[in-house]
Amino acid sequence: MYVYDQYDQHIIEDRVRQFRDQTRRYLAGELSEEEFRPLRLQNGLYIQRYAPMLRVAVPYGLLSSRQLRKLAQIARDYDKGYAHISTRQNVQFNWPELEDVPEILAELATVQMHAIQTSGNCIRNTTTDQFAGVARDELVDPRPWCEIIRQWSTFHPEFAFLPRKFKIAVNGAVNDRAAIEVHDIGLEAVRNSAGELGFRVSVGGGLGRTPIVGSFINEFLPWQHLLTYLDAVLRVYNRYGRRDNKFKARIKILVKALTPEVFAERVNAEWMHLKDGPATLTEAEVERIGRCFVDPAYRSLEDQEIALARLDVEHPGFARWRTRNVFAHKKPGYAAVTLSLKPTGTAPGDITDKQLDALADLADRYSFGEVRNSHEQNIILADVEQARLFELWGELRELGFATPNVGLLTDIICCPGGDYCSLANAKSIPIAEAIQRRFDDLDYLFDIGEIDLNISGCMNACGHHHVGHIGILGVDKKGAEFYQVSLGGSASRDASLGQILGPSFAQEEMAAVIEKIITVYVEKRVEDERFIDTFRRIGIEPFKERVYAANH
Amino acid sequence: MQRIIKNGQVIDETWHLLDKDATLDGLSNSDDLIVPLALWREHAHALKVRDGGLGVWLDSDEEVEEIADELGNFKVIALNFPSFTDGRHYSSARLLRERYGYQGEIRAIGDVLRDQLFFMQRCGFDAFAIRADRDPHDALQSLQDFSVCYQGAVDQTPLFRRRQG
């Protein structure tokens, strides 16, 4: 992974000093609440319902075991003993004291971590495929490009006060596991017919109040021009994005208002001035960054198909876990393992300090000392020898990481909701738990197959409900919490937004509603058809009829 | 007397900043004036023939393209921040320096607070009228908030180009 040099280290240490002084001035009354707000937000510090929440940046989701141990220590010393993996592949602490934040940042800086631009109206953490660098369907490793974007966006002086937050995602594989089409900018690494590397650029995607799938405005941007082009897009947005209404301030509204074609023309006109300028990337720089992402010292191994198949027969639980939580690796004899943070009864994405420490230990022993966070709020050991999978499975079971539900109905993306977040209209964690309890039969869960269920506690859509195959949105009706269901969303390639099923439901109805939806699917599917494919074939009506039938 | 930051020092303010609805009535011939864009639009000739210095100020929804062909008339271009969270003029300043080659003073006016200064100077601002209720001396420190920057701006090329050197 990327290792800081003296420059990188200087920058985060300067930041610690700066934020320490900003916090001091705020506590001394020299900065008003209003003035401090954007400063603390650009440092990932929210004032939440019960306490501040600190969001720590995990660039493109990559963490070393050393960093995990530091996060564990912070969870113990400054929080209530746990952390939370967010849908931007970051890590959140829910209970730090404001006064302690400068010290937490100083601790983080000792392991090359920070909280820069994890919130606020600026360029946020760039995200990518959690299997970057190891996936079999990968064309280009997106990580060096994410790091190049990280450096470019860190304290970018021109774009520190944008109309709204700004999110970039990069994909380098055949499948899109980074949800690029629902980002402000989505970048897909591609090669042209001459074998040259470039990027297909999508803009104006995003969820929230006005969900929109992005439009591709450039089919091939040569890699040298990545940063000048990003500068051009951001400059057009900074100058012409709406600032009168925060709900209309995202770039998606500007792209829609201008049309993607006109927006692309504006960007091109701006880019003509910046193209070939000093921000044009050099081969030397790309190689320098790329050297941080070369393969680890893989052993020369053979795939263990027969041995694993034998273990599968002896241990059905292992077989189940392998089916769901183990992902094909580009190197023979290796596998990528997803640790499920979605056991029933735990808030999705939560992890304790002890688990973090244990995870660091596992990373050291099984996966070259590294893990990745996924935007589905799970954690991945990316480079595990297949011959050690059984042994690892045993350890994961003891730690509570082996729930074999990755990609299944109970692997729910879920925002913190009304239990923690002051923006939420409704709770989301109890809904997730009720659904998990209703579908606690593993055989049934496996039979249902691949399905994305996403829950958000409000319109801001932190739980990405619009792109869930089944989406649940908490809504407020005359002070009471209700839940709206949508079907047919997808964050994958050719992303789609869910259609609303109909009137919303009370909290206690939700598990039964989901069960009815699943029953319709099971009845109507053909062969191995996934939920999303059945939905796309039969439409929303059969679901609507079944779910609302009992209400009449 | 108001004091402003100019080229990294606190100095006495000598320019008069005219209101947005200012007219030519009663203007002294010899004062140094920063006039709103509308006044410049309407009375460019009269303003040019005065003896005093001339500057113009743009509100956050006014674009530098409006004055791109007339920059030689102004010793000062002031860019107004109605709110410190309105970031449009960071782009304006870069365009003035990098695209239009403006060499005169670019001054930040309005809701200008110390924690913005580092970014502003990188975008080409060299003068800052700190909000009247704040001490410009305190604000000076923020010009040194960071010792290294990754990306290029008006002040320097990207770090990856300097790293190679």
Of B63, B116, B153, the CB nearest to A158: B153
Q: CB–CB of A81/A75 below 8 Å? A: yes
A194 touches chain B (CB under 8 A): no
Give the residue carrying structure tokens 């040099």. Answer: A5
B59 touches chain A (CB under 8 A): no
Nearest CA to CA, how far is B29 from chain A (Å)?
Answer: 36
B165: pLDDT strictly greater than 50: no
Q: Residue A33: count other Cβ atoms within 10 Å of its Cβ.
A: 9
Nearest CA in chain B to A20: B145
End-to-end CA distance of chain B: 46
Q: Residue A6: count other Cβ atoms within 10 Å of its Cβ.
A: 8
B100 touches chain A (CB under 8 A): no
Question: Which tokens hold the place of A504?
Answer: 């919303």
Question: Which tokens hold the place of A70?
Answer: 């530091």
pTM, entire model = 0.96
Please judge whether B90 and A121 are an interchain contact, meaning their C-beta atoms are less than 8 angstroms apart: no
Please judge whether A157 and B90 are an interchain contact, meaning their C-beta atoms are less than 8 angstroms apart: yes
Return d(Cα A95, Cα A474) in angstroms, integer: 24
Please judge whether B157 and A278 are an interchain contact, meaning their C-beta atoms are less than 8 angstroms apart: yes
Residues of B in contact with A158 (CB under 8 A): 87, 90-91, 94, 119, 123, 153
Residues of B in contact with A161 (CB under 8 A): 84-87, 90, 116
Q: CB–CB of A186/A166 below 8 Å? A: no
CA dihedral (A357, A361, A364, A366) positive or negative: negative
A245 touches chain B (CB under 8 A): no
End-to-end CA distance of chain A: 58
Give one word for A198, left, alpha or beta, with left for phi > 0 and alpha for psi -120 to 50: beta
Residues of A in contact with B94 (CB under 8 A): 158
Nearest CA to CA, how far is A78 from chain B (Å)?
Answer: 27
Q: How many residues does chain B have?
A: 165
Nearest CA to CA, how far is A217 from chain B (Å)?
Answer: 22
CA dihedral (A108, A111, A112, A113) positive or negative: negative
Of A10, A38, A158, the CB nearest to B94: A158
Question: Which tokens hold the place of A339?
Answer: 């640790």
Please judge whether A238 and B152 are an interchain contact, meaning their C-beta atoms are less than 8 angstroms apart: no
Nearest CA to CA, how far is A278 from chain B (Å)?
Answer: 6
Return d(Cα B10, Cα B117) in angstroms, integer: 14
Please judge whether A288 and B145 are an interchain contact, meaning their C-beta atoms are less than 8 angstroms apart: no
Q: Print pLDDT tens along chain A (552 aa).
A: 999 999 999 999 999 999 999 999 999 999 999 999 999 999 999 886 667 899 999 999 999 999 999 999 999 999 999 999 999 999 999 889 999 999 999 999 999 999 999 999 999 999 999 999 999 999 999 999 999 999 999 999 999 999 999 999 999 999 999 999 999 999 999 999 999 999 999 999 999 889 999 999 999 999 999 999 999 999 999 999 999 999 999 999 999 999 999 999 999 999 999 999 999 999 999 999 999 999 999 999 999 999 999 999 999 999 999 999 999 999 999 999 999 999 998 999 999 999 999 999 999 999 999 999 999 999 999 999 999 999 999 999 999 999 999 999 999 999 989 888 888 999 999 999 999 999 999 999 999 999 999 999 999 999 999 999 999 999 999 889 999 999 999 999 989 999 999 999 999 999 999 999 999 999 999 989 999 999 999 999 999 999 998 654
DSSP B6-38: ETTEEEE---EE--TT--STT--SSS-EEEEHH
Please judge whether A238 and B120 are an interchain contact, meaning their C-beta atoms are less than 8 angstroms apart: no
